[in-house]
C-alpha cells in the first residue's frame, strides 16, 4: 500500500486512519511561534459520512486508500435489493437498502450511476449530478400567490417529492440537482 505524509495532504485525498477510510475535506499547515509545526485536518468518513477533526505531525504517515468509482446501470429494485449491471462486463450485482439509502431517489431504471467501493466493498451510489424527470403529480399554482420564491410540492416519476416554483405543472419535465434534491429549471 502507498503511504502519504501529513505534510503532503491535499483536499480530496483519501486515507486509511484508525481502521476507517477518510477523505480530507480541509487541511491547514500550522507553524506556531513555539513548538513543532503540525497539520490540522477535517476528515470525512466516507462510509458513514461523519466528519472528525484530527491533527498530525507533518512527518506522520498514513496509508492512502484507493477508491473505485465504476459506471454501472441501475436495472431494477426487488424488495430490499437493488440490481446494477457493469457497463463493460455485463456482470450484475445486487445491493441492499442499507448501502443504497436515498441515493436512487431521483434515478430511473436503466440510468447510469457510479458505484463507489473500497477493497471490493461497495459503500455508496453516486447518481448523475443533474437529472431530468417528469412531474407526475402537482397541485396547480394559486393565482395571486406570487410572493417571490413561492413554491409548491410536486412528485416526480421516481416517486420522490420536492418543492418547485408555482409555474411548474403536471407533465412538465424538470431538471433536478441530485446532491441537494432541488429544482434547477424546466427541461
pLDDT at 151 (0 to 100): 86
Residue 154 CB: number of other CB atoms within 10 A?
Answer: 23
Close Cβ partners of 8 (under 8 Å, ≥ 6 residues apart): none
The angle formed by the CA atoms of residues 153, 154 and 155, to the nearest 5 degrees, is 135
CB-based contact 152:164 (threshold 8 Å): yes
Residue-level pLDDT at 97: 87
Give residue 143's pLDDT.
Answer: 63
pLDDT at 67: 87
Does residue 120 share a domain with residue 71? Answer: yes
Q: Looking at the 3D structure of the chain, how many domains does it have?
A: 3
Q: In what order do the strands lie in the sheet with 92-96?
A: 92-96, 81-86, 67-78, 112-118, 121-127
Do residues 164 and 156 touch, judged by C-beta distance below 8 A?
Answer: no
Question: How confident is the model at residue 1, as a pLDDT?
Answer: 61
What CATH number is associated with residue 117? 2.40.50.140
The pLDDT of residue 164 = 92
Q: Are 119 and 74 within one domain?
A: yes
pTM over 0.75: no
10-residue mean pLDDT profile of the chain (187 residues): values are: 86 88 91 90 86 92 90 93 93 89 90 89 88 90 65 92 91 92 90
Q: Are residues 107 and 147 in the same domain?
A: no
Give residue 145's pLDDT. 56
Q: Name which of 140, 143, 131 is nearest 164 in CA terms.
A: 140
Say how many Å lie between the first and final Cα of the chain, rounded. Answer: 46
CATH at 37? 2.30.30.30
Structural domain including 158 reads 130-186
- Rounded to whole angstroms, the Cα distance separating 12 from 109 reads 30
Contact yes or no for 24/11 (Cβ under 8 A):
yes
Amino acid at each position: 500500500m502507498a503511504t502519504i505524509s501529513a505534510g503532503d495532504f491535499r483536499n480530496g485525498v483519501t486515507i486509511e486512519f484508525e481502521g476507517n477510510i477518510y477523505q480530507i475535506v480541509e487541511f491547514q499547515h500550522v507553524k506556531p511561534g513555539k513548538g513543532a509545526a503540525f497539520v490540522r485536518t477535517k476528515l470525512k468518513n466516507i462510509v458513514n459520512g461523519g466528519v472528525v477533526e484530527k491533527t498530525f505531525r507533518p512527518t506522520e504517515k498514513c496509508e492512502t486508500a484507493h477508491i473505485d468509482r465504476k459506471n454501472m446501470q441501475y436495472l431494477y429494485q426487488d424488495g430490499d435489493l437493488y440490481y446494477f449491471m457493469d457497463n463493460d462486463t455485463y456482470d450484475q450485482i445486487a445491493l441492499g437498502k442499507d448501502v443504497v439509502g436515498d441515493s436512487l431517489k431521483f434515478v430511473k431504471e436503466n440510468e447510469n450511476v457510479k458505484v463507489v467501493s473500497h477493497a471490493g466493498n461497495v459503500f455508496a451510489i453516486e447518481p448523475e449530478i443533474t437529472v431530468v424527470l417528469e412531474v407526475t403529480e402537482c397541485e396547480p399554482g394559486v393565482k395571486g400567490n406570487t410572493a417571490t420564491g413561492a413554491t409548491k410540492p410536486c412528485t416526480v416519476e421516481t416517486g420522490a417529492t420536492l418543492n418547485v416554483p408555482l409555474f411548474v405543472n403536471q407533465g412538465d419535465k424538470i431538471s433536478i440537482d441530485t446532491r441537494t434534491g432541488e429544482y434547477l429549471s424546466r427541461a
